[in-house]
Structure 1
Amino acid sequence: MRTVASTDPRADRTARARIVDAAFACFTTAGYASASVRQIAAAADVSPALLTHHFGSKAALREECDARVESAISAKLAGERAPLDVVIETFGPYLAATLDDDTDSARRLFARLVALARAAIDDPGSGIRPAEDRDGQAVALVVLGLAPFAWRRRLDEWAEGTDAGIRRIAGPLAEVFTRGFMADARLEDAR
């Protein structure tokens, strides 16, 4: 049975939770292919055997990480408020680091994120104005949502502080999503 819970270290400090937190960190910094079971186990302060006992394999551990991200995004789309720190410190960097992997896991996760975005677009209660190309709109929402994490280093330099850039642009990005960007329709012909 797979649990889908918060990666907030204050919420759950079981061995299983420490393993997942360590996997997020190792997959983000070293990449999925380079992160080893031993490295993840050491970061979680558990034995590789315990990691294998809980998850079976590194691939299953990645699936757990992906499921937690997907669950958090589903909850956010349903109107629940995830702690911003968990998104900024864990999910965003993880997605920015792993979605471009040339793996089936990355392809499946991207497809699931696009499907979640498409479901939100199709939901009349979401407040999202559907575009003519709803699939393209869904992909654009995923890409725009992840862009700050892909550019995290430059944003931190610009704002002169760790995660300060992402926090600083959160409001302006929300305004772009809610109010739009242009004051008129001059870009309509550029499509």
Structure 2
Amino acid sequence: MTAVDKSDLTGRARLRDAALELFAEHGFEATSTRAVAAAAGLSPALVTRHFGSKEGLRAAVDEHVLDRIGKGLAELDPDVGLMESLGKASAQLFGADPVLRGYLRHILLEDSAASAQLFGRLLSGARAEVRRLSAEYGKQAPVAEWAPFQVLCLVLGPLLLERVMQPHHQEPMFDPQVLAQRSAANQRVLLQGFYGSLEDGAGG
């Protein structure tokens, strides 16, 4: 994304962006609307004026995050295959931005109706991408019901489990080179499966 000077943003956008950063660092419950307003350099009363409530503020942040993801997945590289292009876009979206990564980790793990709703919308997006891949490659996913869940697990798993995975990997989990390698490995799994190159019946 192109960086925008905070002074160029509306008050509503400044509050939303401040909330995104603070929710990413501390989580929703541990962040007060007063802290959001202070980070945005605005009055706490403006949170209620623009969003109605703290929950309304989070809903606006969710919409902003989903909009970013949608736009990122729409900007595909025409010079490579659809799977590779989607893989690169997903790696950038879900891995390269530490604020977005922290936000999704906190919100998706908080076990609330709002977190389930956000996951549901990500799942709807994954279903759309699976349909697009199936049309591109002329083949339905082996288990269509679970394919969107499996795609999300591949993408979100390292993000959600970063802290327990990191001690078992020498390089930082979201180092650009590691991210690119993991994305390529995910693409191979989706296209071939772990044992997709084996002949039918091999191994008994």
* Coarse TM-score class (shorter-chain normalised): 0.7 to 0.9
Q: Does 1:174 find its partner at 2:176?
A: no
Query: What residue number does 2:129 align with?
Result: 120
Q: Which has the higher contact order (CA 8 A, sep 6+)?
A: 2
Give the deviation of 1:128 after TM superposition.
9.4
1:89-168 equivalence runs, <5 A: 89-123=98-132, 124-125=134-135, 130-153=140-163, 155=166, 158-159=170-171, 165-168=174-177
Count matched residues. Answer: 180
Q: TM-score, normalised by structure 2?
A: 0.71
Map 1:1-191 to 2 at 5 A.
8-10=3-5, 12-80=8-76, 84=92, 88-123=97-132, 124-125=134-135, 130-153=140-163, 155=166, 158-159=170-171, 165-180=174-189, 182=194, 184-185=197-198
Moved more, 116-125 or 84-93: 84-93
1:3-39 Cα offsets, whole Å, 9 max, x none, are xxx6944485332222112111221222112211111
Larger Rg: 2
Give the 3 Å change call, closer, same or farther, for CA 121–31 of structure 1 in structure 2.
Answer: same
Deviations 1:57-81 (A, max 9, x none): 1111111111122122222332356
- Between the aligned partners of 1:127 and 1:79, the Cα distance in structure 2 is 19
Q: Which amino acid aligns with 1:102?
A: D
RMSD (Å), alpha carbons: 3.4
For residues 162-183 of structure 1, the C-alpha deviation after alignment (integer angstroms, 9 at most, x for no partner) is xx73423221122123333646
Match of 1:3 in 2: none
Question: C-alpha displacement at 1:82, in angstroms?
Answer: 9.1
Any idea what SS the aligned residue of 1:144 has? helix
Read off the aligned partner of 2:171 and give its amino acid letter. Answer: A
Provide TM-score, normalisation by structure 1. Answer: 0.76
Task: Check whether the contact 2:154–2:186 (CA below 8 A) recurs between aligned residues.
Answer: no
Gaps of at least 5 residues in structure 2 are 77-88
Contact 1:31 1:98 in 2 (8 A): yes
Shift of 1:104: 1.3
Which amino acid is 1:179 matched to?
R
Distance 1:144 1:36, change over 3 A: same
Supply the AA of the counterpart residue of 1:177: N
